[in-house]
Structure 1
Amino acid sequence: MFTVMLQKVFSIAFHSWVEINFENQWYELEAFILDKTYIKKLQEQNSECTGAFCGYGVAVKDFRNLIIEFDRNNTYIQSEGINQDFGVYDCPDELLKEHHQEISAFKAFAYRHIGRHLMNRNEIRV
């Protein structure tokens, strides 16, 4: 239900990750956003899940074999939620100025006073 509500509020959700140049190779480090303790607890609470998982800040094809440790590789925790790359920005304000989200006053109110509180409550449960 909550996912449906978010989809009704936002047509697109922004997410960012870090890109590093290490030994003349660029890597995308997206898995840094969730700590290992949180992920482990989430896996314990969803022990029946052996394939794809989407929820609680995670969107992956293989919930049991996450690629979250950097070993000269890209790392992701929301790989299945990425559908467009807007490029590289030095400052989030530049990204939002160019790709801002238009939402109605009602939707903004609903997100501010209901949506974000539901998200926080779900995270606390984990």
Structure 2
Amino acid sequence: MTPVDPLLSSTPLLDFRHPSLAALIADRGWGTLPLHDRIGAIYDFVLNEIDFGYNRADDIPASEVLDDRYGQCNTKGTLLMALLRAVGVRCRLHGFTIHKALQRGVVPELIYPIAPAEILHSWIEVETEAGWVDLEGFILDTPFLLALQRSFPETRSLCGYGAGTDCLSAPPVGWTGESTYIQKTGIARDFGTFDNPDMFYEHHRQAFGPLRDWIYRHLIRHWMNARGRAIRAGRLPSVPGLSPPNHGHEEASRAA
């Protein structure tokens, strides 16, 4: 009997046999593509057809992320892994934390002081014909990233509004067969690699506590998602010391 490859297997979170994922894969024809194009097509789907946003929790199955049609680093990563494994692409998770400063502008200023100093983060490592590459550039959908680029036209390095990059004008986010990143400069701690997200969350969870977890699920994340929609539309929330050039003048003009 051939042993099951742990980097191709399904799990409760990587539920790629769920009818919604199976139907998506069949409809897009991803399984028939060459390896490079197969990875790229799925990567582009998660990048641009799953908006940057905040789900109810990190440890939700891929089918729920697909149903939500939005996600952040961890949840979009779960969906990416499930879709890749469904078409025979080996992948694993690399776990980290990021400094909360990267979330400033998305996290409301009223909440920011009591937010955890470090936020659970991950990217996906995928096996290509040339070897293993890191995939993190799928987190911010293109309209969201373009809104940041338009708002900070003279800024090279940005840590805030969901981005952590030293090259805001041209971050390595498009699939070319090489590693992609958009939050790499915000990384605080490295937890190493895991065969699947289920194993990662068995050992690492965001330490909110029961009350703060309830408030996050039912109130704060919806507030953050509303801010994300505003950013995507080019209306960046004002953040002391981080607001775009002329942001204050634009606010004053609108008020007048």
- TM-score normalized by the length of structure 2: 0.43
Map of 1:54-93 to 2, 5 A cutoff? 54-93=159-198
CA deviation vs aligned residue, 1:22-53 (integer Å, no higher than 9, x gap): 23421101001222233123322x14442222
Q: How high is the sequence identity, in percent, across the aligned residues?
A: 32
Q: What's 1:110 paired with?
A: 215
Q: Which one has a larger percent strand, Structure 1 or Structure 2?
A: 2
Map of 1:21-32 to 2, 5 A cutoff? 21-32=127-138
Q: What's 1:42 paired with?
A: 148
Q: More relative contact order in 1 or in 2 (CA 8 Å, sep 6+)?
A: 1
- Partners of 1:14 and 1:58 lie apart in 2 by 15
- Between 107-116 and 30-39, the greater mean CA deviation after superposition: 107-116
Contact kept? 1:28, 1:74, Cα under 8 Å? yes
Call closer, same or farther: CA 1:81–1:101 in 2, change over 3 Å.
same
Consecutive unaligned residues in structure 1, runs of 5 or more = none
Give the CA deviation at 1:11: 4.1
Rg: which structure is higher? 2
Consecutive unaligned residues in structure 2, runs of 5 or more = 1-106, 233-256
State the secondary structure of the residue aligned to 2:122.
Answer: coil
Call closer, same or farther: CA 1:111–1:88 in 2, change over 3 Å.
same
State the secondary structure of the residue aligned to 1:34.
Answer: coil
- TM-score normalized by the length of structure 1: 0.79
- Partners of 1:50 and 1:56 lie apart in 2 by 13
Q: RMSD of the alignment, in Å?
A: 2.4
Aligned length: 125
